Amino acid sequence: MRIEIWADVVCPWMYIGKRRLEQALEGMPGTEAPEVVWRPYRIDPSAPAVAEPLDALLRDPFVDTALRACAPGLTPAENRVRVAEVAAAEGLGPRWGATWRVSSHDAHRLVMLAGEAGGAALQDAVVEGVLHAHFVAGDDIGSAPVLDRIALAAGFREGGRLLLAGEGEEGVRDLVLRGRALGVRTSPTFVANGRALEGARHPEEIREFLAAAAEYAPRALPEEVERFRQAESLLGAGDPLGALALLRPMLDEHAADRNVRLLAARAHYRSAQLNRARRGLEALVEETPDDAYARLLLGRTLQRQGERELAGPHLRLAGVMVPGYA
């Protein structure tokens, strides 16, 4: 069984959740250990690429208000103490607490690249190194030298070089979008066999979750089917640009697939890329004149472009074929 953990390396509960998962796996029956794969999630997308002292952030009145939403009833300082106490109970002390606010994007790139290069064991070693550096050593995990040192210590010798070469940029962005499409909304989120468990739960809860997931093995879908469904999910959630980003590889590899092209046209329409939507829909209508939905969307696209005379016949035909479109 594969366990995917969607989490942000700057989230303290990710480190706590990692320790609790390790304890849960120690008590699992059976001889074959699950494969653990770490996936990126961003809790602070606006964090700077160049690190800023976290103490100054916690003193900012605006940020203080935002941080209160993460721990109702506690000030950010009080919440920091609470999390530190939980971390100490999990053996993550004695010093605990991030020193820097910095984008986790490059750290996520390193984690993803480690998984691709050496599988779950190497990825886990890199994750451990990144978390220890951020929360225990107080290092800047946005720094290329720090990430290179972490990679070398984990046995991922080429990690620093790959980061400098820009590897993993699109891969991490793609995975973040796919996590959003799956409904991931907190760090960490454990996913196994299509089931999800949110938060750094206690080992027994994680163990019970994994035992239940092990009994349910959904049919594996082809990768392109999963990607298509995730793009649909993002479009339905109001993220047409994210949907287009997920569809991009499919538009190259499955350029003749009508469903892919129609979904792309819908996303172009929703993101106000009307010329692209129009070109795609005109081709679809020419190929299949009785596609009522394609005609409806083409008519609406033309309307938005101010082409009411051209839009009229398409809208009328769509209404004749499907009265609900009238």
The length of the chain is: 326
99 and 138 Cβ atoms separated by less than 8 Å: yes
Read off the tokens for 310.
């051209």
Share of the chain above pLDDT 90, in %: 78
Q: Which amino acid is at 218?
A: P
**Do 2-214 and 223-325 share a fold?**
no
Architecture of domain 223-325: Alpha Horseshoe (1.25)
**How far is the C-alpha of 114 from the C-alpha of 121, rounded, in Å?**
9
Nearest by Cα to 8 from 38, 35, 31: 38
What does the alpha-carbon distance between residue 173 and residue 181 come to, in Å, rounded to a whole number? 13
Q: What separation in angstroms does the CA of 286 have from each of 187, 269, 280, 295, 301?
A: 47, 18, 10, 10, 16
pLDDT tier at 102 (50, 70, 90 boundaries)? very high
Q: Tens digits of per-residue pLDDT, 103-141?
A: 999 999 999 999 999 999 999 999 999 999 999 999 999
Tokens of 221: 């879908």
Distance (Å, whole) CA 17 – CA 128 = 12
How far lies 14's CA from each of 22, 32, 53, in Å? 12, 24, 21
Give alpha helix (H) positions in 138-257: 144-154, 159-164, 169-182, 203-214, 223-236, 240-253
Residue 72 neighbours by CB distance under 10 Å: 7
- Encode pLDDT of 63-93 as tens digits: 655 455 555 566 666 777 888 899 999 999 7
Tell me the pLDDT tens digit for each residue of 257-292. 999 999 999 999 999 999 999 999 999 999 999 999
The answer to whether the beta carbons of residues 14 and 141 sit under 8 Å apart is no
Q: What percent of the chain has pLDDT over 70?
A: 93
CATH code for residues 2-214: 3.40.30.10
Beta partners for 4? 37, 191
Predicted TM-score of the model (pTM):
0.87
The radius of gyration of the chain from alpha carbons, rounded to an integer in Å, stands at 24
Burial class (CB in 10 A: 0-12, 13-18, 19+), 94: exposed
pLDDT tier, 61 (very low <50, low <70, confident <90, very high otherwise): low
Distant-in-sequence contacts of 48-52, Cβ < 8 A, 24+ apart? 48/101, 48/102, 48/103, 49/102, 49/103, 49/105, 49/142, 50/102, 50/142, 51/100, 51/101, 51/102, 51/140, 51/142, 51/143, 52/100, 52/101, 52/102
141 in Cβ contact with 125 (< 8 Å):
no
Q: What is the mean pLDDT of residues 12-18?
A: 95
Q: Which pLDDT score, from 0 to 100, does residue 232 have? A: 97
Return the domain boundaries, the chain.
Answer: 2-214, 223-325
For 178-204, write each residue's pLDDT tens digit: 999 999 999 999 999 989 999 999 999
pLDDT-derived band of residue 31, with 50, 70 and 90 as boundaries? low
Q: Is the pLDDT of residue 233 over 80?
A: yes
Tokens of 142: 């946005």
